[in-house]
Chain A
Amino acid sequence: MAAISMQTVAKRFGKTEVIRQVNLAINDGEFAVFVGPSGCGKSTLLRLIAGLEDVSAGSIQFDQQDVTALEPSERGVAMVFQSYALYPHMSVYDNMAFGLKLKKTDSTTIQQRVQESARILQIEHLLQRKPKALSGGQRQRVAIGRAIVRKPRVFLFDEPLSNLDAALRVQMRLELKRLHRELGTTMIYVTHDQVEAMTLADRIVVLNGGKVEQVGTPLELYHHPANLFVAGFIGSPKMNFIAGKVVASNGKQVQVDIGAGNPIPVEVGEASALGSGAPVTLGVRPEHLSVTRASANGNNEPPANVEGTVVAVEHLGSEAYVHLNLKTDAPVEPLVFRANGDVVWETGQPVVLKMEPHKCYLFDDSGAAVARGH
């Protein structure tokens, strides 16, 4: 077990800077998930921690011990790869025992540890088989078993579930969570799948373009994204963004004109920085929009309504995602909202949506989030 800290870590491949100035601390025993779009450097960051790549600048510590110059085996890390990377010519037992044998561990200990890990992962009956005689899920367990037997200080997972089918993925996700509870070891997990990140992580590290965008618990990221990128990346389907202008602000509430009739009120923590006329981006999640019967310009309607026509519908059975063309002065991206799956939607149908002031997000000109009111 170990706490990991990284100071101003950078990695360059030739002239391309893949990791820029990353400062990061992962607590002892924490389940941290690196998430980001492909090419954001999350795998590279993991490989830097593993020691499979050397840092171009900066340093990495495990529990105050500087491991920047150490080999992977000296760091005491274990890694699970996306392709499992089992040794095809060895039995499951030998696969798991290989690392211990190289460390010249005595055979009784090896046997004991392999048996124990196999029991935890429920693969005791597979020990004599070759990897090619195993299913995808079983191979993944063996790969995890190979990591466990070495009792590493840190577990590293590089997209371990992306080769499995959806049902197995959910099951393995739960098992990884259970494993983390049982072992209590620090785990770092890389994925591009934000559902995996949300369900597994104690803390999520969102990466983009080689930089850390935000670090926080899954709910922190959902409720208080630091910027447009995180807001758009966390949550599915992604948050709707509408460009607008501040027309008035009174401390806790900002009126935003998005060119769709009445300005939309947004609750914020502190609005003093936003003067009248400041360009902003209004964000609202599809699950926070609801259909209302009142028209956008009726008499005693709440002013927060927007009106549009249906352009596309995605039915998922229990729910449906409806794409709406807003009635605005300038053309904007279609707005997506979540609707009841039982309702029939037709293209061209007019819809009025309610935007609740405390469910909206606001981002300033630079893309940084304006602190929310709650």
Chain B
Amino acid sequence: MNVKRMKKIIVRIAFYLLLVVIGMYTVFPFYWAIVSSLKTGSALFEVEYWISQPYWQNYVSVFQEQPFGRNILNSLFVAVSTVALSLVLALAAAYAIGRIQFRGRMLLLFVILGVSMFPQIAVLSGMFELINSLGLYNNLLALSFSYLIFTLPFTVWVLTTFMRELPKELEEAAIVDGATPFTIVTQVFLPLMGPALVTTGLLAFIAAWNEFLFALTFTLSSEMRTVPVAIALTSGASAHELPWGNIMAASVIVTVPLIILVLVFQRRIVSGLTAGAVKG
């Protein structure tokens, strides 16, 4: 009996050790960024796992040496508009694909999925021509539109799946009540799809917020840059100096909004991911 108990305790300890290792592995890079962002230029190159004297100047100079505030606003605008656009379009598409019977429905769905399979670099030159001819070069709208390439496929898929699971009788009850398809989508389905919208919206937001390649290619001036590009192109006083302190401070600043968003919508995300598993 004692052996059994010992065994149980050892298994327990091993389990928690594993958790600690996994936790360290996932959190350490971010922790290192925070620690580095609070160091002076010379202290950066000393290995130190704890900061005795936080040095806040990096956080100030990030905003002084470049239009970083503007960059954050840019990112915010691009991410929010991308999310709004893709949710509206995806909702309409999901109603059509999920609720209306027509020929080639599955084909359409797979074409949409297929779009997301191309690597971004493959469509980059074509996209560039398109953006140029629309006169959107060095314009934030270029980013909002081009980001739809990778946000729409999964928003359409997730919302279609979700919409399919809504009972048909609910729609028919609304039809008998005299509702048009628009009313059905906006007044009956939309309120029920909150969790799905939050989940997909958040994923789209994160994708748009962190996107680098399109943002680098379609913008020119530093005022039009989004955060990832701005961080990557941060330059120091001389060409030979890489301002690690500033870069780390900037990275920490732009990660915080994402963490806050996820924490705020935590419950909704979980219910969105498991939606349809049980009858609501």
* Chain A residues whose CB sits within 8 angstroms of the CB of B187 once the complex forms: 98
Task: Tell me, rounded to whole Å, the shortest Cβ–Cβ distance linking A53 to chain B.
Answer: 10
Bound Cα distance A292, B153 (Å): 77
Question: Lowest 4 CB-CB distances: which A-B pairs, in order?
Answer: A73-B178, A99-B177, A85-B169, A85-B173
A interface bracket (residues with beta carbon within 8 Å of B): 20 to 34
Known: A89-B191, A102-B183. A83 touches B169 (CB 8 A): yes
Bound state CA distance, A77 and B179, in angstroms? 13
> Is A256 in contact with chain B by the CB < 8 A criterion?
no
Specify which chain B residues have a CB less than 8 angstroms from the CB of A98 in the assembled complex.
174, 177, 179, 187
Minimum CB–CB distance from B39 to chain A (whole Å) comes to: 51
- Which A residues touch B179, using CB under 8 A? 98, 102
CB pair B178 A103 closer than 8 Å: yes
Inter-chain contact B176/A73, CB cutoff 8 Å: yes
**A77 proximity list for chain B (CB < 8 A):** 176
Distance, CA A130 to CA B181, complexed state (A): 24
A82 contact set on B, CB distance < 8 A: 169
Task: Flag A217-261 by CB within 8 Å of B: 1 or 0 each.
Answer: 000000000000000000000000000000000000000000000
Query: Is there contact, CB below 8 Å, between B176 and A50?
Result: yes
Min CB gap A56→B, angstroms: 16
CB neighbors of B among A47-76 (8 A)? 50, 52, 71-73
Contacts of B174 in A (CB 8 A): 87, 98
Is B207 close to A, CB under 8 A? Answer: no
B interface residues, how many (CB within 8 angstroms): 17
What residues of chain A lie closer than 8 Å to B188, measured between beta carbons? 87
Interface residues of B in 35-70 (CB under 8 A from A): none
Is B172 among interface residues, defined by CB-CB distance under 8 A? Answer: yes
A87 touching B170 in the complex, CB below 8 Å, given contacts A73-B178, A79-B176, A98-B177: yes
Asked, given contacts A52-B176, A73-B177, whether A81 binds B192 with beta carbons under 8 Å apart, the answer is no
B residues adjacent to A (C-beta < 8 A): 167, 169-170, 172-179, 183, 187-188, 191-192, 280
User: Counting CB contacts under 8 A, is A320 at the interface?
Assistant: no
- Interface of B: prevailing SS: helix
State in angstroms the CA–CA spacing of A239 and B250 once bound together. 84
Q: Are A83 and B191 in contact (CB under 8 A)?
A: no
List A contacts of B192 (CB < 8 A).
Answer: 88-89
Residues of B within 8 A of A86 (CB): 173
Given the complex, which residues of A lie within 8 Å of B280, measured CB to CB? 88
Bound form: Cα–Cα A241–B209 in Å: 75
Instruction: Kindly list chain B residues whose C-beta atoms are within 8 Å of the C-beta of A102.
Output: 177-179, 183
- Could you say which residues of chain B place their CB within 8 Å of the CB of A73? 175-178
Number of CB contacts from chain A to chain B under 8 A: 53
Known: A87-B188, A89-B191, A89-B192. A99 touches B169 (CB 8 A): no
Decide yes or no: A78 and B191 within 8 Å by CB, A83-B167, A85-B167 being known contacts. Answer: no
CA of A50 to CA of B280 in the docked complex: distance in angstroms?
Answer: 27
With A73-B177, A102-B178 given, can you name 5 additional A-B contacts, CB distance below 8 Å?
A77-B176, A78-B176, A81-B173, A85-B170, A85-B172
How far apart are the CA atoms of A78 and B172 in the complex, in Å? 11
* Min distance, Cβ A153 to any Cβ of chain B, angstroms: 13
| Shortest Cβ distance from residue B268 to the other chain A in the assembled complex, whole angstroms | 14
Q: Write out the residue numbers on chain A whose beta carbons fall within 8 Å of the beta carbon of B178.
A: 71-73, 99, 102-103
Bound: A103/B169 CA distance, A? 20
- Complex CA gap A83/B166 in Å reads 12
Which residue of chain B lies nearest to A47 when distances are taken between CB atoms in the complex?
B172
Interface string of A89-110 (1 = CB under 8 A from B): 1000000001100110000000
Closest A residue to B180 by CB, please name it. Answer: A102
CA distance A150 to B179 in the complex (A): 14
- Give CA–CA (A73, B181) in the complex, Å: 13
Q: Are B177 and A81 in contact, with the CB atoms below 8 A?
A: no
Q: How distant is A87 from chain B, measured CB to nearest CB, in Å? A: 6
24 pairs of residues in contact across A and B, judged by CB atoms under 8 Å: A52-B175, A71-B175, A71-B178, A72-B175, A72-B178, A77-B176, A78-B176, A79-B173, A81-B172, A81-B173, A83-B167, A85-B173, A87-B173, A87-B174, A89-B192, A98-B177, A98-B179, A98-B187, A102-B177, A102-B178, A102-B183, A103-B178, A146-B173, A146-B177
A206 to B172, CA, bound (A): 25
In the assembled complex, the Cα of A102 lies from the Cα of B177 at a distance in Å of: 8
Q: Roughly how many angstroms separate A52 CA and B188 CA in the complex, as a whole number?
A: 18
Nearest Cβ in chain B — how far from A223, in angstroms? 37
A88 to B183, CA, bound (A): 16
The complex places the Cα of A231 from the Cα of B1 at a distance, in Å, of 70
- The contact string, 1 if C-beta is below 8 Å from chain B, for chain A 23-51, is 00000000000000000000000000010
- Residues from chain B with Cβ under 8 Å of A88 in the complex: 192, 280
Closest chain B residue, CB of each to CB of A150 = B177
The listed residue with most A CB atoms (<10 A of its CB), out of B177, B178, B191, is B177
Residues of A near B183 (CB, < 8 A) are 102
Closest to A82 in B: B169
CB distance from B188 to the nearest CB of A (A): 6
Q: How far, in Å, is A33 (CB) from chain B's closest CB?
A: 20
Distance in angstroms from A22 CB to nearest chain B CB is 21
Compute how far the CA of A86 lies from the CA of B188 in the bound complex, rounded to whole angstroms: 10
Chain B residues with Cβ under 8 A from A87's Cβ?
Answer: 170, 173-174, 188
Alpha-carbon gap, A34 to B188, bound state (A): 30
Taking CB atoms, residues of chain B closer than 8 Å to A71 are 175, 178
For B177, the chain A residues whose CB sits under 8 A away are: 73, 98-99, 102, 146, 150
Q: Closest approach, in angstroms, between the C-beta of B177 and any C-beta of chain A?
A: 4
Candidates A79, A89, A103, A150; contact of B172 at CB < 8 Å? A79
User: Considering the chains assembled together, what is the distance between the CA atoms of A142 and B44 in angstroms?
Assistant: 68
